[in-house]
Structures are given as structure tokens and as C-alpha cells.
């Protein structure tokens, strides 16, 4: 049974803020145009979006998919729906990464086509995730949603930082495959000196979304109040 509360829904707020941050980072990446003086500027603008989007998609499947199966009457179907759309989004992110790093398989594909696919799949993922979170609100208590938001944050910090659309998303095989992917991604992140932003930290406030994005390290509760 759900528990009514006049306060903020921490899970819904965390997911909404995450999508706001992803949308802002995606807009930066789309607007970036490398110059002769800054030939790698697209990499600087795009990599943070790829890392944070890849992390959130993976964490959402682990945390929200499991919560759906546990709390919702059609939870198995809803978890499968989330996994299907996650693969589509990860496929678009994979194409972006391939284009960014000069893969011959996408060298002739224009950036406009890449970004159009990412925009569409991210919007579709948001629709599925938002509906799932809304339905969970009707079947869980405030304390349970607080716990889910915290679990989403902690999971997002330890999952793969690159898209892996061809790995299984659920079950034992999915857990094992993605555990290996995390280790491989961390090795390359360290070797390449890659900047991986912190995920959105759950909190009982709806303020400061742009502050979180600008900091790329959303610990806004530590900031002094004006």
C-alpha cells in the first residue's frame, strides 16, 4: 500500500533531476563544434554525457526494474519494457561513442543523424522510466521510495560508464557480464584520464538542478544557503 505524504517524492525528484542534467549535457554535446585550435572539443563536451547516461540506464534497470517486479502487478512486463528501451538507448549511445572515437563503421554517418537518434531514444526512455516511477509511487511508502532513490544513486556510482547494448540486461548472465564490463570500463577510464561525473544525489529539495549540472558533482546539500 502507498503512504501519502505532503513532502517531496525523493525517487521522482531524483529521476527528474537526472534527466534534466542529461538533457543539459546532451545539449552541450550537440552544440559543440570543434575548431582548428580545439580539435578535441567535441570529446570534452560529449564524454560526460555518454558516461552519465550509460550509468543511469544501467542503474535504472537494476534498481527500478527489480522494484517493478516486486511491487507492481504487471511488474515483469514493465521491467522487460524498461530493458527493451534501455537497449535501444544504449545502441544510440554506442553509435555516438563509435563516431566520437573515429570508428570506421560510422565514419560516413553525419552527426545530425547520430544526435537525432539519441534524442528520440532518450525521450522514449524517459517516458518509460517516468511512468514506472509514477506507478511505484502508488504502491510504495515514502520510506521505500527514499530507499530506492538512495539505491539508484549508489548503484549508478558503481556500474559501467560506457554503453553496452549487446550485453544481457537482466538475470545472472546480465549481472556477471556487466560486472566484467565495469572492470574494463574503469581500466580505460583511468588510462584515458576520462572525466566521469557524479550522479544526482537524492535529497529532499527541488532546487538547484542547474547548480548540480554546472558542478558535475551534485552535492548541493553541502552548499551554503544564501
CB within 8 Å of 138: residues ≥ 6 apart: 2
- Picking from 139, 128, 149, 130, the residue whose alpha carbon sits closest to that of residue 200 is 149
pLDDT tens string, the chain, 226 residues long: the values are 555 444 579 999 999 999 999 999 999 999 988 777 766 778 888 999 999 999 999 999 999 999 999 999 999 999 999 999 999 999 999 999 999 988 888 989 999 999 999 999 999 999 999 999 999 999 999 999 999 999 999 999 999 999 998 887 667 777 788 788 888 888 888 888 888 899 999 986 554 454 445 445 554 444 444 4
The neighbour count for residue 38, using CB atoms within 10 Å, is 12
3-state secondary structure of 181: helix
Reported pTM: 0.83
Query: Is residue 218 within a helix (H) or strand (E), and if so which, with residue range?
Result: none
Residues 50 and 26 sit within 8 Å (Cβ to Cβ):
no
Amino acid at each position: 500500500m502507498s503512504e501519502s505524504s505532503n513532502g517531496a517524492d525523493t525517487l521522482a525528484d531524483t529521476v527528474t533531476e537526472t534527466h534534466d542534467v542529461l538533457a543539459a549535457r546532451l545539449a552541450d554535446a550537440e552544440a559543440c563544434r570543434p575548431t582548428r585550435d580545439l580539435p578535441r572539443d567535441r570529446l570534452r563536451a560529449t564524454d560526460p554525457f555518454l558516461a552519465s547516461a550509460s550509468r543511469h540506464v544501467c542503474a535504472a534497470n537494476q534498481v527500478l526494474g527489480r522494484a517493478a517486479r516486486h511491487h507492481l502487478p504487471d511488474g515483469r512486463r514493465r521491467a522487460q519494457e524498461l530493458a527493451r528501451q534501455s537497449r535501444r538507448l544504449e545502441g544510440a549511445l554506442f553509435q555516438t561513442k563509435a563516431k566520437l572515437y573515429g570508428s570506421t563503421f560510422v565514419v560516413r554517418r553525419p552527426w545530425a543523424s547520430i544526435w537525432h537518434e539519441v534524442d528520440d531514444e532518450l525521450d522514449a526512455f524517459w517516458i518509460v522510466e517516468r511512468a514506472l516511477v509514477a506507478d511505484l509511487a502508488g504502491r510504495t511508502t515514502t520510506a521505500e521510495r527514499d530507499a530506492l532513490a538512495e539505491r539508484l544513486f549508489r548503484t549508478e556510482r558503481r556500474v559501467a560508464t560506457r554503453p553496452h547494448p549487446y550485453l544481457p540486461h537482466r538475470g545472472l548472465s546480465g549481472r556477471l557480464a556487466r560486472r566484467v564490463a565495469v572492470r574494463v570500463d574503469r581500466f580505460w577510464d583511468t588510462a584515458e584520464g576520462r572525466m566521469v561525473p557524479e550522479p544526482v544525489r537524492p535529497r529532499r529539495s527541488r532546487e538547484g538542478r542547474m547548480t548540480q549540472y554546472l558542478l558535475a558533482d551534485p552535492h548541493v546539500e553541502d552548499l551554503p544557503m544564501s
